[in-house]
Amino acid sequence: MPSHTELQIRHYLAGTVMGPHAHEAACLSLLVCGAFIERIGAGERAYTRGQIAYLPVGVVHSQRFGATGAKQIIIRPHSDWLEYLSDCKTPLADAPHANAPIFRELGDRLLRELANADSLAAIACEGILLELVAAFARRAGSGKSAGKPPSWLSAVRDYLLQHACAPLCMPQLARVAGRHEIHIAREFRRFFGVPVGEFARRLRIDQAARLLARSSASISDIALESGFSSHSHLCREFKARFGVTPSTYRCDRDREAAPQIPM
């Protein structure tokens, strides 16, 4: 494996829109916080924490970031990684993507190692990256989009992106869509890969994480602002998602930011 890997951690503010563009170099991206919508080809993808994607050279895409903003790890893949993925029948030309708990875990571990900056950080990061590539090879085929969602379903998704921290119910979404609740539930999962409730829950937890990193407000106040019923409710959901309590996450927030780091 080459001795240098190019990594970047990119932060996107809430409401940021990136118009159609393409990259001169292929990349792997891993979403570690936040959410966004990507238009690519004839379809759309809803990205939440734990989403990993491969973008080939020259593929035109655009992104619209939700109310929580986003944080991504951008990785320039080695040629031998791409050979391995090709050998595993990963459809690289189709800009494959996937979301699974393993990618959330690996993303959190990678951020911690990038913040360590000790003599073992480089080899630790390379090991995590290899795990990431292997996991992607196993799961990339399952991340294919169902195509472009109908406009009424996009309206539901956009409503959730803007109002995830407010009280929500299925009859409310049915009024937004002009469709039956059962139809919304079935089609939302088919097009976006997660149930409606889980999509909203991830947005709330990511909003809480953003506030913990940027605000000095109490955890109880952040819980209420992010749509949770109490401090304990936030702690339970936050730990299930991130593996740490909100207070631990807040203590580690300054160690997580890292510029482009050669290894």
CB-hemisphere CA count at 13 Å for 145?
Answer: 20
CB-CB contact of 29 with 75 (8 Å): yes
pLDDT attached to residue 3: 41
**Residue at 97: amino acid letter:** H
User: Which residues face 72 on adjacent strands?
Assistant: 10, 31
SS3 53: strand
CA 168 – CA 253 distance, rounded (Å)? 30
Assigned CATH class of 7-145: mainly beta
Enter the tokens of residue 247. Answer: 């207070």
Torsion, Cα 21 26 31 32, to 10 degrees, reads -130
Topology of domain 151-255, CATH: Arc Repressor Mutant, subunit A (1.10.10)
Question: Distance of alpha carbon 37 from its chain centroid, rounded?
Answer: 10
Give the pLDDT of the chain (263 residues) as one tens digit per residue: 334 568 899 999 988 999 988 888 999 999 999 999 999 877 888 899 999 999 999 999 999 998 888 999 999 998 889 998 998 889 999 899 999 889 999 999 999 888 876 677 787 888 899 889 989 998 886 555 566 789 999 999 999 999 988 888 889 999 999 988 888 888 888 888 788 888 888 888 888 988 988 888 999 999 999 999 899 999 988 888 778 889 988 886 645 544 444 43
- Rounded to two decimals, the pTM is 0.62
SS3 28: strand
The residues near 130 (Cβ < 8 Å, ≥ 6 apart) are: 1
Question: Distance of alpha carbon 7 from its chain centroid, rounded?
Answer: 16
Question: Distance of alpha carbon 42 from its chain centroid, rounded?
Answer: 21
The residues near 81 (Cβ < 8 Å, ≥ 6 apart) are: 133
CB-CB contact of 98 with 52 (8 Å): yes
Structural domain boundaries in the chain: 7-145, 151-255
